[in-house]
Structure 1
């Protein structure tokens, strides 16, 4: 009789809880590679979030702007609309308006917008910054204070601002922190160690190890995630045993295949279909490589990826 071998690992991904109440979610918990339930405990099912912004999304594709035309100028109404209509696992508020190279909105104003969004929904909230490390450090401090008690994820802290973000976000106001690195296992590990030296526990850290749209250096993203998971599980490396979140939509809506209109490149076909295909392709790849949560933009992408997760988890 054939006896199937089972791959056991000494390590385990820690659990991180986001949000409060009945809609709170847990990331991580796996003791085996993604979706390999035949080997052991796969932990919490990967979660799917949806992106909104604090300002009207002028640069989004027309079909998405049309979908959200009645709510996109009011982030709190937008968040509530998404929660009620599409039921993602969490919502990601991206504070684009704070960007010093854009509107450069004051951090206090942005923090109040984040508070309004958090108060309008029951889902967990992830708050993403501008990518300007100096501004984000101040921004996350203000947001952490304003949303005390909401148990949000501040995404993300980097080596340039992690002390300020961690001190306010985790130590002072008891939120969770995203540790962002640039698709490199050593950089991910280094930032986690720095956070732990501040007294931050693994259960308060979610890694954002970087991403890319499928076809754009994507194989490097996948191999990095594979290495992180194998080190965490196989080598029991506690400095890498945190869940991973991947902001897929941040990357897939920047590339020519998604932003080019049908009039620009008619031979490429429908723009909305291209956008969904790119988002789904990217998300599915990072999920099977170790991501515990993905952030998407299009409702159809959310539906497809949730179905994929359910099928693979069955």
Structure 2
């Protein structure tokens, strides 16, 4: 046992030295960007080594792929829909105001809020700065996470959130909308007018920020997100990709059964998630995917939005 410990200790000392040297280099960059050294030291005080849990989560992969309908039923279950209806009723005035200002469907805003943090019920428990530091030090996207990390220091330094409240999920997203630091910089809004873009504690700011994100990424006001369709038996898979977009009339001419009420000129693409129904997905479906680049996620957001608003 002792010999094993002796063999292991030089490696761990080397690892600590590498981490300490990396932190010292990071501190020079962060301080040069205008952050006080004392803030850096406080934020990184607990980061004596890379966070093992963050590293494990970053490297872990799902054991198997869920079908779309299983994913949807697990994420948008009856309880989350029921709570969503209660939250929508409680914050209807704010949601309606946000929809008028940004032109984004309030039901979709509520659905994203529900899927990301269970309507603020669980916003994560990982300290954002140490988590991002781990990923900036040891991941396959070091430059990306270093950029997020430096922006995170500036969020705290500007007084937007305290270090104690700056917690989120393991990859650095935080607040009601689960924004990464650069998303906060680009899309967060001070909707309640108190001088802070407080996505961590202010529900109006959080809902307005979700809407601003979607509008900024191409949301089309007044258009649907998608409709379920039936494909003909001889439908070629070559038509199922992100680039093939046709009008509803053109898809109908190819034998696709499109529900009534869809404008014949409205353009969309066919999406066929594993184990789920086929969709004619419109531009707003693709905009939802900018929030999370997954057809499962976008399909679940849209479906739960419809359930929350009973449409």
TM-score by length of 2: 0.24
Name whichever structure is richer in strand by fraction.
1
Structure with bigger gyration radius: 2
Normalized per residue, the structure richer in helix is 2
